[in-house]
Amino acid sequence: MKKIILFATFAGLMHAQAPAGYYSSANGLSGASLKTALSSIITNGHQDKGYGGLWTGYKTTDIDKTYENDGSIMDIYSEKPNGADPYKYTPGTNQCGTYSVEGNCYNREHIVPQSLFNESSPMVSDIHFIRATDGKVNGMRSNYPFGKVGTATFTSKNGSKLGNSTSSGYSGTVFEPIDEFKGDVARMIFYFVTRYQSRLSSFSSGNMLGSSTFPGLQTWELNVLLAWHNQDPVSQAEILRNNASYTYQGNRNPFIDNPNYVNLIWGGGSSSGGGGTTTPETPSGTTCVNETFETIPTASTASYLTRTWTNSGISWTATDARTDQTISSKAITVRNGALTSSSSAHGIGSLTVTTQLKFSGSNGNFTVKVNGNTVGTIPYSTTSTTTTINNINISGNVTVSLVNNSSSNRVAIDNLNWTCYSSTGKQNKNLSREINNKVKNLQIYPNPISNQEIFVKGETSNIQKAEIYNLQGKVMQTMDQPFKNSRNSIKIKNLPQGIYLLKLDESTLKFIIKQ
């Protein structure tokens, strides 16, 4: 059995069926502002159908229409994309109940554990992050966060694992789904911290959630989920579930409809009318540095001193600074000085930070410098404000400083982060624009491909040229009149396992080669 799936090109040419204008209030936004706009959009219309209502919802939202397509429960903890599933569940008939081993029954798995929000409504019954999964695997996952497992203490029959974390920044126990569903998990958690961002400060962290509206996740978990989102694009199964969940519950997961919202909020890029077809300047779109100030020194908190600390490999120095003020949680407050990072590799794309004027004073601006050169300003006032400077775009090693130009204003800084940037981003810019062209009803099937042959559905007879690119923009193969000998397939060279782009005249499709 092979999985047949539709993939988005680079940043999301494939969309679920959101109503026209559904995301219009998010147009042109990025960073925390975009996250807040999306939170409002997906809160409006949300109907709480109750915890028991999930069983009814699953009969339309969690049905396998993509893999076996047999009407059984689509369980991310037991589905084997490239082989026979170890067991199947009939909707309604096999729901838990009690269990002792895998295959007994399915129940309701809160991807964000319900203990973190004290089983409160509407979170406890929000179908967008509560999946129908095998009871035993759900129980083994327990309340552990998601991350990369080193040595597994439990492995489910489809390869999902529980064990010690090897994810940077966290060494506790984590749960790791199979590669096929890592992006699904990431986008469900991104939905949660966006939908419920105003309530995060009242939730327990579970070693995954952040206590602040932005970024909403602990740094280590955010980095894991960003990587998973980028490596596992939105699938047809997610689209179908999002549409069914919208019918059932009245709201949508924006990160399935518009995958690039993830990079716009947590990883950089620029929006273009809410359509989701933009591509970030950074090839990876990941966060390079994310400082929440939770590890700042606690001695002499109200005194203005030079403060130094290290977090996630970055050393920080704040001059003329105190540590007793807060915004979302801990913050560093600079008077007549600056906050400066140590050198960070991988450059800087866009920078986001939250500021607030404390005590008395007047509105003003921080000057933002990269490697000693001014790249922009960050405003501050008595209102907590999150600001993003886009398109800084400096590659290589960077040192970042926020300089307070006032000798008296005392300004708190919180949730400072910036995205990586590589000079290859500019090299890929023209390719990225090409990728955004309309797909013209062409489709690769099956995907991943096999036997070094690409089958294409759609009108191919007039296509003059085919080009295959890797994700770094390198041309791997070029063919003139590629469908001359076959109306629906192309034989390709022996390319290694990975993700590639097939450009057919002005249309571009993504495909995967698996060994």
Reported as a pLDDT band with limits 50, 70 and 90, residue 393 is confident
Return the pLDDT at 473.
62
Return the pLDDT at 487.
72
Most confident of 80-84, 301-305, 313-317: 301-305
- The yes-or-no verdict on residue 380 having pLDDT over 80 is yes
Q: How far apart are CA 401 and CA 342, in angstroms?
A: 9
Which residue did the predictor score with more confidence, 336 or 495?
336
- The yes-or-no verdict on residue 435 having pLDDT over 60 is no
Which residue did the predictor score with more confidence, 133 or 385?
133
Which residue did the predictor score with more confidence, 396 or 275?
396
Return the pLDDT at 152.
96
CB 365 within 8 A of CB 385: no
Return the pLDDT at 451.
85
- The yes-or-no verdict on residue 250 having pLDDT over 70 is yes
Least confident of 391-395, 405-409, 511-515: 511-515
Q: How far apart are CA 288 and CA 345, in angstroms?
A: 8
Reported as a pLDDT band with limits 50, 70 and 90, residue 273 is very low
Least confident of 117-121, 273-277, 479-483: 273-277
Return the pLDDT at 360.
92
For 141-186, write each residue's pLDDT tens digit: 999 999 999 999 999 999 999 999 999 888 999 999 999 999 999 9
- The yes-or-no verdict on residue 282 having pLDDT over 50 is no
Which residue did the predictor score with more confidence, 164 or 29?
164
Return the pLDDT at 441.
66
- The yes-or-no verdict on residue 439 having pLDDT over 80 is no
* Contacts with 272 (C-beta within 8 Å, 6 or more apart), sequence order: 278
Mean of the pLDDT values across residues 128-152? 97
Least confident of 43-52, 199-208, 364-373, 486-495: 486-495
Residue 297 tokens read as 């020194």
CB 217 within 8 A of CB 225: yes
Return the pLDDT at 437.
38
Least confident of 113-117, 118-122, 230-234: 230-234
Which residue did the predictor score with more confidence, 267 or 264?
264
Reported as a pLDDT band with limits 50, 70 and 90, residue 268 is very low
Mean pLDDT of the chain: 85
Mean of the pLDDT values across residues 77-104? 92
For 454-490, write each residue's pLDDT tens digit: 999 888 888 888 888 876 567 788 888 898 887 788 8
Reported as a pLDDT band with limits 50, 70 and 90, residue 423 is low
Paired residues of 477 in beta bridges = 468
High-pLDDT (> 90) share of the chain, %: 53
Paired residues of 106 in beta bridges = 95, 134
- DSSP E strand stretches across 112-166: 130-134, 149-155, 161-165
Q: How far apart are CA 373 and CA 378, in angstroms?
A: 15
DSSP 21: T
Mean of the pLDDT values across residues 503-513? 82
Q: How far apart are CA 135 and CA 53, in angstroms?
A: 18
Return the pLDDT at 17.
65
CB 424 within 8 A of CB 285: no
Mean of the pLDDT values across residues 114-119? 96
- The yes-or-no verdict on residue 426 having pLDDT over 90 is no
CB 351 within 8 A of CB 392: yes
Return the pLDDT at 302.
92
High-pLDDT (> 70) share of the chain, %: 88
Which residue did the predictor score with more confidence, 420 or 334?
334
